[in-house]
Structure 1
Amino acid sequence: YAKSLRDLLEGEFTRCLLTNYMYDLPWLFGECPRLNDVPVLLVHGERDRQAMAKECRAYTNVTPVAPPLPIPYGTHHTKMLVALHPDKVRVAIFTANFLSGDWNCKTQGVWYQDFDLKVVADSDDEEETPVAAAASSAAVHDFEADLVLYLSSLGHQVKLFCGELKRFDFSTARVALIPSVPGVHKGKGKQARQLHYEGRNSTQGWNAGRSIPCPLKNMKSFLHKYLRKWTPPAALHRQNAMPHIKTYSRFDPCGEKAGTLDWVIMTSSNMSKAAWGAFQKSKTQFMIRSYELGVMFLPPLLTRESSGPPIRLSVIGSKAAEASGIVAREASSARQQAAILLPLPFQFPLKTYDPKKDEPWVWDLTREDPDIFGSAYIPH
């Protein structure tokens, strides 16, 4: 249940769009040597834009893009890549910055899918042939429309890149996009749930908590009853890899259906107004500060079959997964309801904090107990 960045950027792609908040360019281009040989559009969220532009000059094939930020305190936080191949395009959306520690030491989420060229029926022999140029033969799929609309908001150079996407068939997309674009919008708000931090003996010691920015002033006492311990299923081997993943879901919490999911969102969005937006002016407008992007898993999107029982989503290691009779995503009986197991880092039933023994993580308190490296934690 792991994918490396090199896995995502495999093959002979001819052009690449990278978007992220933070970059370690030497590590990134060392991890994926192919990036040195093809045109790369690099959309970033670094606050020092001039410094980032200067650093990119060492890579003559790289064009840095700093997207417009019309509202103060916003940032570009989306984490994704789009790799163009001669016969397909790969779209990947994830929760990791382009930093070694994010990919090698933390629990992250990643979704990716390859999309083939659009096809049209030849007027003479009625055979379907791949389309190598922009095609008008197929209707624009919702996924394609949302992807192009979001990417076009990042600036002129990325909007031009979107012209390449018209060649590909996105009708097979198995997720819905969940974007945030800074600005003032009209629409409904969204509600969400939260994750937490636990354990100084992680792969990064206390420092893992620096990427879970919850100050003491925000850890209100009423929140404690909503927090749950970090206990991912043993099959994922993530107990000591602290979470940087952001997921939101509606699930069945107990009984034989514990771990059954109605829907899941995996996204770059933290639980903040900057990411998800907030109503203003008596709810007549909706303001978002930052660029974010995620994907939503829904049972109807995960299969094209119109007959048979609906697909059921379950978390690996849950009672619902055991009841489904599925091992490694394969049904053991044709009579059982088809199910898809998602490797989410949740163990059902979820474990609550003991208020007498457990202390929720906040990142601005000194921790003197030594971690796995023998170090104390000193807030920046």
Structure 2
Amino acid sequence: MVAKHDASAPYHVFYTTISDAKQTHNQPYSITFLEILDRSLGELKCSLQINFMVEIGWLLAQYYFAGYSEKKLTILYGEDMEDLRTINKKKPHVDAHHVSMATPFGKHHTKMMILCYEDGSLRVVVSTANLYVDDWENRTQGLWFSPRCPELPADAMPHDGESPTMFKKSLLKYLNHYHLPSLAYYMERVKRCDFSHINVFLVASIPGSHFDMEWGLTRVGSLLRQHCSIPTDQNKQWPLIAQASSIGSFGKEPKLWLTGDFLQHFTRIKNPPTVLSQPPQLKIIYPSLENVRQSHDDLLGGGCLPYAADAHAKQLWLNDYLYQWKATSTHRDRAMPHIKCYTRVSPDYNRAAYFLLTSGNVSKAAWGQKNKKDQALRLMSCEAGVLLLPQFVVSEPSNLQIIKIGLMTTIFYIFVLLKFTAETPPSVMVLL
């Protein structure tokens, strides 16, 4: 596994292997959960799993088969389960904590791992997959799997070992918001490790009202305003491609949020036009009902696509922005996407200005909504993702700050975008 991971540089982005698509089993960018725990990457000492849904029997089986059945495991989870509440009585080395949200619309939706090794080093994984069997079999999931972060010298200062993207500081700030004593050890390990070679930005959301630009869509907008270098005269021609497994409720018209706060922040650039101009196009990739019917799991494949039928009925205008799921080149047409990613591409679809892999769906709960009175950003969910920007990832010259899609397996869906029609409606859930 260490050779596969080394070969993934400088992106370090992987996709989960699809059980029923044998063509994915030997792809250099496909990965199983067991491979994440492979000993060639380091001898595991303990690990932190932060997630939404956790099937504890399946998760412990993965650690057992990896040879780590007695290693300390800390779990933060969002979906409350009885077996997680009592797991410490049966497995004393497992420490599980339920993270509740202030509102029913908010979810503890982050999917992150911190893997600590016996030699003092660690790795961070930022993922889109829940920790249960279905998410690791026939669904398209994405993961950023960090390089090894070695232990700093004993006399190093806590702020040493920072990356140009300030990843270490951002990670510590995110972990600190939980105020959990169980995280003290992992935060100390992060402080004591060298992150100087990490080339992505951590983009996270935490519940609350925020006036800084550290969270949600204001974090995205701030980073793009500093570093996204699409030529000013071409800005309108570079569409925003948003791909998600769920869609929120946006109101009676797109400008209320979707083409307002959301589009404005996700399309910011370093040198914006000085005069008012039309915003770039927004294209949302979301599976159609036909996509689901043809999936490996038939209609059950839509179980990871919780977009309610009554919500869609109130915003039928959204059909103008929707495009079907298609990932033929990576043999994932039939693997329904639980992955979420955002990118801006050139008019010829050969270049990308950035790539954001995240747990956050296209929703106000995930990215936040600006308060009209005081401009505070109101967030309801916990989310985490990584933003790849060319000058940090591939060191392109300043006038060519692009990522060439042909060299970047992270942009996995093909850009023959298929519009929705009356015969191919979006996959929606009818809630009884």
Alignment pair present for 1:229 and 2:324: yes
What is the CA deviation profile of residues 55-77 of structure 1, one whole-angstrom value per residue up to 9, with x for unaligned ones?
A: 34322211112235344542211
What is the CA deviation profile of residues 313-371 of structure 1, one whole-angstrom value per residue up to 9, with x for unaligned ones?
A: 233xxxxx2xxxxxxxxxxxxxxxxxx41333321232222x2432222111xxxxxxx
- Among 144, 149, 153, which residue is 2:168 paired with? 144
- Among 360, 364, 368, which residue is 1:269 paired with? 360
Q: Which residue of 2 aligns with 1:362?
A: 428
Alignment pair present for 1:313 and 2:380: no
Q: Which residue of 1 aligns with 2:30?
A: 2
Identity among equivalent pairs (%):
26
Alpha-carbon contact 2:87-2:96 (below 8 Å) kept:
no
Q: Which residue of 2 aligns with 1:318?
A: none
Matched to 1:7, the amino acid is: E
Alignment pair present for 1:218 and 2:308: no
Matched to 1:244, the amino acid is: H
- Among 112, 115, 125, which residue is 1:92 paired with? 125
Matched to 1:148, the amino acid is: L
- Among 192, 197, 200, which residue is 1:172 paired with? 197
Shift of 1:18: 0.4
Alpha-carbon contact 1:90-1:115 (below 8 Å) kept:
yes
SS at match of 1:16: strand
- Among 194, 197, 217, which residue is 2:287 paired with? 197
Alpha-carbon contact 1:68-1:155 (below 8 Å) kept:
no
Alpha-carbon contact 1:202-1:242 (below 8 Å) kept:
yes
Alpha-carbon contact 2:161-2:195 (below 8 Å) kept:
no
Shift of 1:104: 1.0
**Which segments of 5 or more consecutive residues in structure 2 lack a partner in the other structure?**
1-28, 219-260, 267-281
What is the CA deviation profile of residues 73-94 of structure 1, one whole-angstrom value per residue up to 9, with x for unaligned ones?
A: 4221101111011152111111
TM-score, normalised relative to structure 1: 0.78
Distance 1:208 1:4 in 2: 19
Matched to 1:351, the amino acid is: L
SS at match of 1:14: strand
Structure whose residues are more often helix by fraction: 2
Shift of 1:300: 1.1
Aligned length: 325
Distance 2:326 2:105 in 1: 34
SS at match of 2:47: strand
Residues 1:243 and 1:269: Cα distance change in structure 2 (over 3 Å): same
**Which segments of 5 or more consecutive residues in structure 1 lack a partner in the other structure?**
120-130, 316-320, 322-339, 365-378
Q: Which residue of 2 aligns with 1:82?
A: 114
Residues 1:133 and 1:40: Cα distance change in structure 2 (over 3 Å): farther
Distance 2:171 2:326 in 1: 34
Shift of 1:287: 1.2
Q: Which residue of 2 aligns with 1:287?
A: 378
Q: Which is higher, the Rg of structure 1 or of structure 2?
A: 1
- Among 133, 138, 144, which residue is 1:105 paired with? 138
Shift of 1:226: 1.2
Shift of 1:284: 2.9
Distance 2:317 2:207 in 1: 31
What is the CA deviation profile of residues 298-320 of structure 1, one whole-angstrom value per residue up to 9, with x for unaligned ones?
A: 101103x58798564233xxxxx
Shift of 1:35: 4.2
- Among 339, 348, 362, which residue is 2:415 paired with? 348
Matched to 1:57, the amino acid is: K
- Among 24, 41, 48, which residue is 1:17 paired with? 48
Q: Which residue of 1 aligns with 2:91?
A: 59
Residues 1:40 and 1:132: Cα distance change in structure 2 (over 3 Å): farther
Matched to 1:346, the amino acid is: Y
TM-score, normalised relative to structure 2: 0.69
SS at match of 1:115: coil
Alpha-carbon contact 1:231-1:345 (below 8 Å) kept:
no
SS at match of 1:41: strand
Distance 1:165 1:133 in 2: 15
SS at match of 2:106: coil
Distance 2:45 2:316 in 1: 52
Distance 1:56 1:201 in 2: 41
